[in-house]
């Protein structure tokens, strides 16, 4: 029987999003399940993944023997060739052979990569970076993820640890980052950094529409957008600060790699992308060489929350093509 369907997963610290793609690369069914935040065991996260796979198969009406493969993006340092999660900051996985576990439970081939790398692949094959050869991706969420494609190949660096430019140091005497360094891009430009700034300003007695919308050191991106549209001064300052450092980092990446395009994705950009892009474009020329800047485009990701799902699909298609050679 011809393999007509693929199952693609976006595995996060608090949820697993699953989707079924048909042979025309269309999503015919999707499902999201929460995982417990913090303290979740390896086995329990694995169980949620397997539940999502089982339920999308049942609910979409497809047959197991019609499935070509399962693929996923997840946070952390991941050996994409072997399917082993070497380390994940938001999941209880260390040197975890998730490929073997999922394939044993399902009998279906399984592939996995770092979530932002996979998201950039999605944009490269099916989204805003399609047709470009050298791509830099900034994904702005709770943290700051980076993905890099050079000469049409995903760059993962030595031991799959490359492209962590969310931890590019902007100020060596800046705030302490969760990685242990000071003044990282993430601590200024991601949600946790923006939250810290806004909470400091509110603690000084400044009024803000964001005051009751912080939870676990972050906020919902849609709430931030509402505050920005209502010209909330504290939210606006936090975003200005975020975009300033994103512009500096963008300039550094332009000078270093001379990419064809820089893509901005992630939950914050999905909700507030036009606002962020406008502010970054206003500043970025100050931080890069004009002769290089002239040949670089800056764009929002086109696939939104589906970037990782489509990137997972591209992994399946690449592995299928390998097997046919």
Q: Take residue 306 and report the two structure tokens written for it.
A: 């589906």
Least confident of 43-52, 61-70, 123-132, 134-143: 43-52
Right CATH for 133-302 from 3.30.420.40, 3.50.50.60, 3.40.50.2000, 3.30.9.10? 3.30.420.40
State percent of the chain over pLDDT 90. 82
| Distance separating alpha carbons of residues 44 and 58, to the nearest angstrom | 21
The single-letter DSSP state of residue 158 is G
The pLDDT value recorded for residue 293 is 97
At residue 38, the pLDDT reads 46
5-119+306-324 belongs to CATH 3.30.420.40? yes
pLDDT at 39 over 60: no
**Torsion sign over Cα 171, 177, 181, 182:** positive
pLDDT at residue 223 tops 60:
yes
The model carries a pTM of 0.92
3-state helix vs strand vs coil in the chain, percent to 5 = 45, 25, 30
What pLDDT shows up at residue 42? 60
Return the domain boundaries, the chain: 5-119+306-324, 133-302
Beta bridge partners of 16: 11, 33
- Range from 36-45, 54-63, 234-243 carrying the lowest mean pLDDT: 36-45
Q: What percent of the chain has pLDDT over 70?
A: 96
């Amino acid at each position: 029987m011809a393999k007509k369907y693929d199952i693609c997963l976006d595995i996060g610290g608090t949820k697993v999003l699953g989707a079924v793609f048909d042979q025309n690369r269309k999503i015919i069914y999707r499902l999201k399940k929460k995982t417990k935040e913090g303290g979740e065991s390896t086995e329990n996260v694995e169980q949620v993944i397997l539940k999502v796979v089982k339920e999308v198969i049942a609910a979409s009406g497809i047959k197991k023997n019609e499935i070509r493969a399962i693929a996923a993006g997840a946070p952390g340092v991941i050996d994409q060739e072997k399917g082993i999660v070497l380390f994940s900051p938001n999941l209880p996985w260390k040197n975890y052979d998730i490929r073997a576990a999922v394939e044993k439970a399902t009998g279906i081939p399984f592939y996995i990569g770092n979530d932002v790398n996979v998201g950039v692949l999605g944009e490269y094959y099916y989204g805003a970076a399609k047709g470009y050869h050298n791509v830099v991706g900034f994904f702005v969420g709770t943290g700051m993820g980076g993905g890099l494609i050079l000469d049409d190949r995903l760059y993962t660096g030595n031991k799959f640890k490359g492209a962590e430019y969310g931890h590019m140091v902007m100020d060596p005497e800046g705030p302490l980052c969760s990685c242990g360094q000071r003044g990282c891009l993430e601590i200024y430009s991601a949600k946790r950094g923006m939250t810290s700034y806004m909470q400091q300003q509110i603690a000084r007695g400044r009024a803000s529409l964001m005051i009751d919308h912080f939870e676990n050191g972050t906020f919902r991106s849609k709430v931030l957008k509402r505050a920005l549209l209502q010209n909330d001064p504290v939210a606006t300052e936090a975003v200005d600060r975020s975009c300033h450092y994103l512009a500096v980092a963008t300039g550094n990446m332009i000078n270093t790699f001379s990419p064809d395009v820089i893509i901005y994705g992630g939950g914050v950009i999905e909700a507030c992308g036009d606002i962020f892009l406008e502010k970054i474009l206003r500043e970025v020329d100050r931080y890069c060489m004009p002769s290089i800047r002239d040949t670089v485009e800056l764009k929002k990701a086109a696939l939104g929350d589906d970037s990782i799902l489509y990137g997972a699909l591209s992994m399946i298609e690449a592995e299928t093509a390998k097997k046919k050679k």
